[in-house]
Homo-oligomer: A and B are copies of this chain.
Amino acid sequence: MFSGRGFPESEYELRVEKAQDLMRKRGLDGLLCTTHPDIYYFTGFLTRFWESPTRPWFLVVPQAGKPIAVIPKIGEALMRTTWIDEIRTWSSPDLKDDGVTLLADTLKERIGSGKVGLPSGHETHLRMPISDFENLKQLLSGITIANDAEILRTLRMVKSPAEIEKIKRACGIAHHAFSRVQEFAYPGTQLSLVFRKFQMVCLEEGADWVPYLAGGSDKFGYADVISPAGDAELQNGDVLMLDTGLTWDGYFCDYDRNFSIGAPDQIVVDAHKTLIEATQAGFEAVKPGAAARVLFEAMDRVLTGGKGGNENGRLGHGLGIQLTEWPSLIPSDETELQAGMVLTLEPGIGTKNGNMLVHEENIVVTQSGAEYLSTPADEKIVRV
């Protein structure tokens, strides 16, 4: 098992071969990638510089041959460290032509008069100015830009053993961090300080970055699961929830833990127990060939008796290079589970005063069922 940073070149070759096979089957002559996850997937180009929205970045994956990077000069040295051979650069930002002509020329040269697939559907976006995209289409005489026929989704959804190792490592780092929450969470501590300390222990335990942390703290849970921390202090009897997406070598974990500050109310005790039962029901429903919705249904039976869930929409999702990826564990998602898919199981339950508890674990689909990547929590809520 390859478990260091990066991937062997053979892994990138395999990813591109699979993409090219799907292009042939789905009638595309190339792919155009513009986002960090898609470009990292094919090249290994890893940087936090995506935080800067100034410059667009492009990768052309033709139906034959290696991908071609069309990128700002500032990224050339880093791209040269990857397996990509052909790197075309321009001095960006260029207020008149920020790589559009260079990209159009590259597409015309490599695709000729064909059809280029651009990820266009659910959970995608185009990371270049819309006005530049309109200019690009005008320059592309003979080339059609169509959707990517879900090729990126199809490929990225199923993880390789080396990708799973990275996610597992991220999960392990979060596990160690969660086990240290008692070091800094007690009555009188500001939630904002808890957030900062938790990020620090994530880093100390080995995280490269902590791109995501949400949570809350209140009696009987919290009103939502996406808020940043305020300066309110933890109170005895609160439920503290921390939900982290930390990364190792570009791969995320995404799971949470609930803690009772002092003795928990019976409502909280029961809610937490139900969430663990729901998670386990979801876990047991996993098998290759089943639809994603089946996991929703298994968890929802425990949570609501099968009423179809709540308005927050889903009880889990894929993860990998992104904090959230396909599929969604919702009643309408018919995506067929396959071995190698990495998922979160994320049941939630209302408690009292408009608050709720949410629990989350990370799993990988195997040939026969599933394995936990996070160390599953006990049904008894942890008291700090």
Contacts and interface: CB of A to CB of B under 8 A. Distances in A.
Nearest to A53: B123
A66 interface: no
A142 interface: no
A150 B319 CA distance: 36
A279 interface: no
Interface stretch (A196-204, A259-267, A281-289): A196-204
B224 A77 contact: yes
Interface stretch (A20-28, A104-112, A124-132): A124-132
A213 B48 contact: yes
Interface in A215-237: 223-231
Given A196-B208, A208-B195, A323-B51, A78 B125 contact: no
A122 interface: yes
Nearest to A128: B125
A330 interface: yes
Contact of A324 (B54, B96, B122): B54
Number of copies: 2
Contacts of A129: 120-125
Given A125-B125, A332-B95, A53 B226 contact: no
Interface stretch (A67-75, A156-164, A372-380): A67-75
A317 interface: yes
Interface stretch (A11-19, A268-276, A306-314, A362-370): A306-314
A34 B103 CA distance: 26
B211 A204 contact: no
A93 interface: yes
Interface in A320-351: 322-324, 328, 330, 332-333
Given A53-B324, A130-B125, A46 B228 contact: yes
Contact of A130 (B76, B118, B245): B118
B124 A91 contact: no
Interface string A84-123: 0000010111111010000000000000000000101111
A96 B211 CA distance: 29
Contacts of A311: 73, 89, 91
Interface of A: 5, 46-49, 51-54, 72-78, 89, 91-96, 98, 118, 120-131, 147, 192, 195-197, 199-200, 203-204, 206-214, 223-231, 245, 311-314, 317, 322-324, 328, 330, 332-333
